[in-house]
C-alpha cells in the first residue's frame, strides 16, 4: 500500500497533466485557429494553420489541344533498317516496298517518307487518309503506324498498329532506306 504522500503526488500529477491538455486546447482553439484560419476576405487566399499541400493535377480535357507525342526521332536515329525488315512482315500482305512495286490492298510504299500523304499514283486512297493533309513527317508516320485510325478514323488500312515505339522506329528506318531523299531526321519538327 503506497503511503499518503505518494498517493497525493500521483493524483496531482494526473491533475496537472489534465490541466495542461485542456489549457493547450483552449489556447489553440481560442487564439491560434482564429488567427490563422480566419475566413479570407475578398480577393485574399485562405490561410490554414497547417499548410495543406494540394498537388496540381493536369486534367486532360477535350479542348486541351492535340496530344503531345513522345519524340520518336531519337529512336529512329538509333534504329536499324534490318530490324525493320522483321517488322515489315506484318505489312507485306498489303504493301510492297521496292521501286515500281505493285499496289496491293495498300499502296506501294517506295519513297513514302516525306511524300504527300495519300497521293500514290494508281491507288484509290480513302478521303479520311487524304484529309490528314501535308506530308509524311516522322511524327505523323509514328502516329499513323501506332494506330492508323487516330489520324484517319475512316481510313481503309485494317491494321491494329505497332504498339512498341522501337518497332515503329525500326520500320520507319526501313521506309527511309527505301526512300530516295528522306528528310533529315534531326531537323526541327514541322509545325
Rounded-to-integer distance, Cα 70 and Cα 110, Å? 26
Rounded-to-integer distance, Cα 67 and Cα 15, Å? 65
* Selection from 135, 146, 186 nearest residue 168 by Cα: 146
Residue 120 or residue 173: which is nearer to ligand HEC going by CB? 120
Rounded-to-integer distance, Cα 139 and Cα 187, Å? 12
Q: Report the interface residues with ligand HEC, using CB under 6 A.
A: 90-91, 93-95, 105-107, 109, 112, 117-118, 120, 125-126, 128-129, 145, 152, 155-159, 162, 171
Taking a C-beta distance cutoff of 8 angstroms, is the pair 110, 101 a contact? Answer: yes
Residue 80 or residue 93: which is nearer to ligand HEC going by CB? 93
Rounded-to-integer distance, Cα 26 and Cα 23, Å? 5
Q: Whole-angstrom distance between the N-terminal and C-terminal Cα of the chain? A: 90
State in angstroms the smallest separation of the CB of 42 from ligand HEC: 57
State in angstroms the smallest separation of the CB of 115 from ligand HEC: 7
State in angstroms the smallest separation of the CB of 101 from ligand HEC: 13
Residue 9 or residue 143: which is nearer to ligand HEC going by CB? 143
Rounded-to-integer distance, Cα 166 and Cα 112, Å? 19
Taking a C-beta distance cutoff of 8 angstroms, is the pair 167, 151 a contact? Answer: no
C-alpha cell at position 46: 485562405
State in angstroms the smallest separation of the CB of 181 from ligand HEC: 17
Residue 9 or residue 98: which is nearer to ligand HEC going by CB? 98
Residue 50 or residue 97: which is nearer to ligand HEC going by CB? 97
Residue 28 or residue 93: which is nearer to ligand HEC going by CB? 93
State in angstroms the smallest separation of the CB of 68 from ligand HEC: 22
State in angstroms the smallest separation of the CB of 113 from ligand HEC: 9
Amino acid at each position: 500500500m503506497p503511503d499518503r504522500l505518494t498517493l497525493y503526488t500521483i493524483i496531482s500529477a494526473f491533475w496537472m497533466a489534465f490541466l495542461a491538455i485542456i489549457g493547450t486546447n483552449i489556447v489553440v482553439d481560442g487564439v491560434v485557429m482564429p488567427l490563422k484560419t480566419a475566413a479570407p476576405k475578398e480577393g485574399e487566399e485562405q490561410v490554414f494553420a497547417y499548410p495543406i499541400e494540394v498537388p496540381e493535377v493536369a486534367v486532360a480535357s477535350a479542348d486541351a489541344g492535340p496530344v503531345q507525342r513522345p519524340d520518336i526521332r531519337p529512336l529512329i536515329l538509333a534504329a536499324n533498317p534490318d530490324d525493320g525488315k522483321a517488322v515489315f512482315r506484318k505489312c507485306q500482305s498489303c504493301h510492297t516496298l521496292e521501286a515500281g512495286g505493285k499496289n496491293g490492298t495498300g499502296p506501294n510504299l517506295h519513297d513514302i517518307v516525306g511524300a504527300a500523304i495519300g497521293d500514290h499514283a494508281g491507288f484509290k486512297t480513302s478521303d479520311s487518309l487524304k484529309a490528314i493533309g501535308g506530308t509524311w513527317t516522322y511524327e505523323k508516320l509514328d502516329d499513323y503506324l501506332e494506330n492508323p485510325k487516330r489520324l484517319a478514323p475512316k481510313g481503309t488500312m485494317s491494321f491494329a498498329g505497332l504498339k512498341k515505339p522501337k518497332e515503329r522506329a525500326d520500320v520507319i528506318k526501313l521506309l527511309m532506306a527505301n526512300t530516295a531523299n528522306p528528310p533529315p531526321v534531326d531537323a526541327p519538327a514541322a509545325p
